């Protein structure tokens, strides 16, 4: 009975705590930034909740699935500081439907939470704050500042090459390579490889070379945070287990991927002496049209390079056949090679379908390489594609 008495006292104490008023617009913005981390289906009920904490003049919001977490905050009028947990999806969906104005949030008995806005009065069933997992803070030492624009470009040009096969654990993320005067990112699924480097970028606190594997889901969350910030730099830090990215007032933490990333440098073609240069937009349009008639499973298109033209074709017994011809200078031996059309289109999309792109080949059995045709490009970008049998 004594333990039950302690539990009742704790609940009562919690029932008198936390009472705040917050702008609906600011609250919704922060809920939107964090809700994607919350697992929709989880065997641990507390992980379906936001952790809401109020102190002085700030409301702090945390979401986690144990592998990663986002912590954010917004201004609030705090009548009583405290903490509670609220079902994340239900709160987000409800606040979206409220009119602009002020929202009051008050913790009641037995972890219930009252939410008032204008004439709306709602009570949600929460869970005890004590059950919420501890979310680590950004280490205050050894943080490196990375330009936001650079990190956005690195992610956009590699994330689509990450493997989605759970069995290929070390390929389920991208490798970030930090040096004192450059940074690069590499991703591969075993069929294609994206490598992008930003040279001549001064990074403080980096000596030698630092390599970290960022899980795909964390990379996608980081991409969303970068797209929604005005901050010019991202603070990056890590410890033995986790990675931390501070984007403005929001912090993303993620477990590291462990294991050995493949030796990507050994995969880079070195003797692809046959090449052709075409406009990215024209290549994307041609491949997009022809791929409508590619095999539904392989998505393979055939590229045939011969005197001053690039022929792109595909055929299947179910849909028919199609061919597009791009006129372009080509003076090497005729070569025919097959590639997955989706892989080509994803690379061109990452370029914004702008400028010219160089396609480099050795023969029909060796890996092909694609890269922007711009000697003055700010980034070094290489895309390696394994050929397909056609």
The pLDDT-based confidence of 12 (bands split at 50, 70, 90) is very low
Given a cut of 70, whether residue 13 has pLDDT beyond it is: no
Given a cut of 60, whether residue 8 has pLDDT beyond it is: no
Nearest to 30 by CA among 79, 77, 91: 91
Given a cut of 50, whether residue 293 has pLDDT beyond it is: yes
Q: What values do phi and psi take at 16, rounded to 5?
A: -95, -5
Q: What values do phi and psi take at 194, rounded to 5?
A: -110, 130
Total count of residues recorded for the chain: 390
Given a cut of 80, whether residue 14 has pLDDT beyond it is: no
DSSP 342-361: HHHHHHHHHTTT-SEEEEEE
* Mean pLDDT on 147-152: 96
Q: What values do phi and psi take at 77, rounded to 5?
A: -95, 110
Report CA-CA distances (Å) from 381 to 350, 353, 357: 11, 14, 11
Q: What values do phi and psi take at 297, rounded to 5?
A: -90, -45
Report CA-CA distances (Å) from 12 to 15, 78, 107: 5, 20, 11
* Domain covering 144-264 assigned CATH 3.10.150.10 in the classification: yes
268-385 shares the fold of 2-131: yes
* Domain covering 268-385 assigned CATH 3.10.150.10 in the classification: yes
d(CA 215, CA 213) in angstroms, rounded, equals: 6
Given a cut of 70, whether residue 1 has pLDDT beyond it is: no
Per-residue pLDDT, 10: 36
pLDDT in tens, 242-266: 999 999 999 999 999 988 899 999 9
Given a cut of 50, whether residue 15 has pLDDT beyond it is: no
Here the tokens at position 274 are 């046959």
Per-residue pLDDT, 7: 34
The pLDDT-based confidence of 356 (bands split at 50, 70, 90) is very high
Given a cut of 90, whether residue 6 has pLDDT beyond it is: no
Given a cut of 50, whether residue 21 has pLDDT beyond it is: yes
The pLDDT-based confidence of 375 (bands split at 50, 70, 90) is confident
Tell me the domain boundaries of the chain. 2-131, 144-264, 268-385
Per-residue pLDDT, 5: 35
**CATH number of the 2-131 domain:** 3.10.150.10
Helix, strand, coil percent content, the chain, rounded in steps of 5: 25, 40, 35
Given a cut of 50, whether residue 80 has pLDDT beyond it is: yes
pTM exceeds 0.75, yes or no:
yes
Share the mean pLDDT of the chain. 92
Q: How many CB atoms neighbour CB 166 within 10 A?
A: 7
Question: Which position has the token pair 């008050």?
Answer: 106
Per-residue pLDDT, 357: 97
Give every strand in the sheet of 274-279, ordered side by side: 209-215, 173-179, 182-188, 192-199, 380-385, 368-372, 356-361, 274-279
d(CA 284, CA 353) in angstroms, rounded, equals: 7
């Amino acid at each position: 009975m004594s333990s039950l008495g302690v539990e009742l006292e704790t609940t009562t104490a919690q029932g008198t705590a936390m009472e705040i008023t917050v702008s609906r617009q600011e609250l919704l913005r922060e809920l939107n930034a964090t809700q994607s981390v919350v697992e929709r289906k989880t065997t641990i009920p507390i992980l379906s909740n936001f952790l809401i904490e109020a102190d002085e003049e700030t409301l702090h919001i945390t979401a986690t699935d144990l592998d990663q977490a986002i912590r954010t905050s917004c201004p609030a009028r705090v009548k009583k500081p405290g903490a509670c947990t609220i079902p994340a999806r239900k709160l987000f969906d409800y606040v979206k439907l409220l009119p602009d104005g002020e929202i009051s949030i008050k913790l009641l008995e037995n972890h219930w939470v009252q939410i008032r806005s204008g004439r709306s009065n709602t009570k949600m069933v929460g869970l005890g704050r004590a059950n919420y997992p501890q979310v680590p803070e950004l280490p205050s030492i050894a943080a490196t500042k990375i330009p936001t624009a650079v990190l956005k470009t690195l992610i956009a040009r590699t994330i689509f090459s990450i493997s989605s096969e759970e069995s290929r654990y070390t390929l389920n993320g991208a490798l970030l390579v930090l040096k004192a005067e450059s940074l690069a990112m590499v991703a591969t699924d075993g069929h294609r490889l994206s490598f992008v480097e930003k040279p001549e970028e001064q990074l403080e606190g980096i000596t030698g070379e630092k390599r970290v594997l960022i899980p795909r889901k964390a990379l996608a969350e980081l991409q969303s945070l970068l797209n929604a910030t005005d901050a010019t730099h991202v603070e990056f830090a890590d410890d033995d287990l986790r990675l931390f990215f501070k984007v403005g007032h929001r912090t993303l933490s993620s477990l590291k991927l462990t294991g050995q990333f493949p030796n990507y440098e050994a995969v880079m073609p070195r003797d692809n002496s046959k090449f052709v240069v075409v406009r990215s937009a024209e290549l994307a349009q041609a491949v997009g049209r022809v791929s409508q008639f590619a095999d539904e499973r392989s998505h393979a298109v055939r590229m045939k390079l011969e005197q001053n033209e690039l022929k792109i074709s595909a055929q299947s017994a179910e849909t028919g056949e199609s061919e597009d011809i791009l006129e372009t200078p080509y003076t090497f031996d005729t070569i025919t090679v097959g590639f997955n059309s989706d892989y080509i289109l994803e690379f061109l999309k990452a370029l914004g379908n702008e400028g010219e792109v160089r396609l480099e080949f050795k023969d029909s059995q060796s890996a092909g390489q694609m890269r922007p045709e711009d000697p003055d490009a700010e980034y070094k970008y290489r895309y390696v594609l394994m050929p397909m049998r056609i």
